[in-house]
Amino acid sequence: MKSFKLFAILFFSLLTLNISAQQKKYVMVIHGGAGTILKKNMTPEKEAAYIAVLTQALKAGYAQIQSGKSSLDAVEATIHVLENDPHFNAGKGAVFTHDGKNELDAAIMDGKTLMAGSVAGVTTVKNPISAARAVMEKSEHVMMVGAGADLFAKDAGLEIVDPKYFWTKERWDGLQQAIKEDSTKAVLDHGNKKSELLGSKNHDYKFGTVGCVALDKAGNLAAGTSTGGMTNKKYGRVGDAPIIGSGTYCNNETAGVSCTGWGEFYIRNVVAKTISDLMEYKGLSVTEASKIALDKVGKMGGDGGLIALDKKGNIAMPFNTEGMYRGAITADGKIEVSIYK
């Protein structure tokens, strides 16, 4: 009899714990990139710095939500923090192209209206996520690229900076190393070995794209992504981040999604929209849909991760790399930040 009572108490305790876990409602989830992020390669100081910035970003977005601002405002404020910090491959910390330039991409999407805006290859906009929002709200277009996007951002009143603003020694050194590896591969590639497709092996092993999905008090979702692209990229390459449906997507009826990783694979699998479609047409949870979409990327040979948040406050943060800078905050302000697998 005693053992039965003990079992009953234990069963109902576990049931209560499970219910409380399910009821945890998140209002924001962020990422700072996925890749070969190993604790053994991280100094305590650098780890603390990453955690501090991710925490600061979550607090910035949460303050917007708490004050009754929209999820779009929360996403923009959060990504500003990450774009302004050189630890991440976005804004100030953007990586360099083969030509020694910083070309920035960003996208934002409103889950309520399905309005979206994005920019690609901008070089003078301090905060590309704001340029993406300006395209969405102040033009009839969805995407603008290059010099035209820079000019539009200036006309829209956004902060414009000298391209030198984006220069950081760590990213410059990363470019030099990538060029050196490229030249070594080129030498090894001669002879009888068949050449790879141009650009197919230009793989940045330390992704740092940033993204955010937020759920405001009105029940509206918004998603945004910002990136400096791929180290040593050539020929005006654009990744998945600014492509609506590939690296960024949001719909109140399903979820908001922001991706990070090897962009070509996310484009080919239309990852962000696939997650939304699996939820809408198959009735899958945000966790199930996210896993299926990322598994397709992995099977094709790509890597990275993503964040997703549904209208009920459930989150998913899958990744198939060694680590992903990530964090979330609940409706009651509890912050969770992680780096490693």
Residue that has been written with the tokens 């102040």 in this structure: 138
**Residue 78 a catalytic site member:** no
CA nearest neighbour of 201 among 189, 218, 219? 189
Q: How far apart are CA 63 and CA 61, in angstroms?
A: 5
| Catalytic, out of 209, 231, 254, 321 | 209
Any bridge partners for residue 212, and if so which?
A: 30, 224
132 and 106 Cβ atoms separated by less than 8 Å:
yes
Handedness of CA 211, 121, 124, 143 (dihedral sign): negative
Count Cβ atoms below 10 Å from residue 196 Cβ, excluding itself: 11
> Hey, is 36 helix, strand or coil?
coil
* Dihedral-angle region of residue 146 (phi above 0 means left; psi in -120 to 50 means alpha; beta otherwise): left
Task: List CB contacts of 82: < 8 A, sequence separation 6 or more.
Answer: 30, 32, 53, 57, 88, 90, 91, 210, 212, 226
Task: List CB contacts of 24: < 8 A, sequence separation 6 or more.
Answer: 313, 330
Active site residues: 209
